[in-house]
Amino acid sequence: MPVAIITGASKGLGRALAEALAGRGWDLVLDARTPGPLQAAADALERRYGTRVRALPGDVTDARHRAALVARARRLGGVDLLVSNASALGAEPLVRLAELPPAGLRRALEVNAVAALGLVQEALPLLRRSGAGTVVTVSSDAAAEAYGTWGGYGASKAALDQLAAVLAVEEPGLRVWAVDPGDMATDLYAAAVPDDAGPRPEPGAVVPAFLRLLDERPASGRYAAPALLDGRR
């Protein structure tokens, strides 16, 4: 069975992706910071689908934790897919750049870009060995558009987009997709803009866009989930 590592997998988009992959028979290594919800998610998926699902709580900015994630995947057979979904906002709720603490920006960059690259570096030998080695980085339209209060988070996601683009050039044997999932009803968004209660799709609604990429395996690049769901690239 193919093996995937998914960070930020106890809830939201990470949890929805784990559900979809487990339903397709994938074995999974799941990461999140909170042990209880993560283990509950792993147990539920293993019971429902009969695949091997390993929960490993920790902080992706910790190099030892990243090494442990890859070691756990190696014991399952390797790494065919790495999904960097764990994210940090930098400030909760979001604030203008004039008020953004430098420590908050550092945290966003560490989680969203530096840790994502560190995990890729740790998993790269196994990804190269896979017949279909794939890296998915979860991006945001804030990486490409200038929205007030989203500057720190958007800068970290722009850095992640550039890392993904260069990785695709340097590792032509892999597929590397940066995916903007669009607006979703997640705890992250609620923490970012608590006063915005507008209706948004549940994370599961955008999962078919990620599955389309896995099924069709287009060229490495940046993709927007709404366009993929509409049948466009």
- Among candidate residues 10, 130, 157, 220, the one labeled active-site is 157
Known catalytic membership, residue 223:
no
Rounded distance, CA 77 to CA 47, Å? 20
Tokens 């990461």 locate to: 31
Rounded distance, CA 63 to CA 123, Å? 12
The runs of H, that is alpha helices, within the chain are 12-23, 35-49, 63-76, 102-109, 115-129, 151-170, 187-192, 207-216, 225-229
C-alpha to C-alpha distances, 193 to 22, 96, 100, 148, 198, nearest whole angstrom? 32, 12, 15, 11, 11
Output the six-digit token pair for 230. Answer: 């509409």
Rounded distance, CA 13 to CA 117, Å? 20
Tokens 């870009």 locate to: 113
- Among candidate residues 10, 84, 153, 223, the one labeled active-site is 153
Rounded distance, CA 58 to CA 8, Å? 10
Known catalytic membership, residue 11:
no
Known catalytic membership, residue 139:
yes
Q: 49, 56, 59, 60: which is closest to 27 by C-alpha?
A: 49
- Among candidate residues 139, 140, 156, 220, the one labeled active-site is 139
Straight-line distance from the first to the last Cα atom of the chain, in angstroms, rounded to the nearest whole number:
28
Rounded distance, CA 123 to CA 135, Å? 10
List, by residue number, the catalytic residues: 139, 153, 157
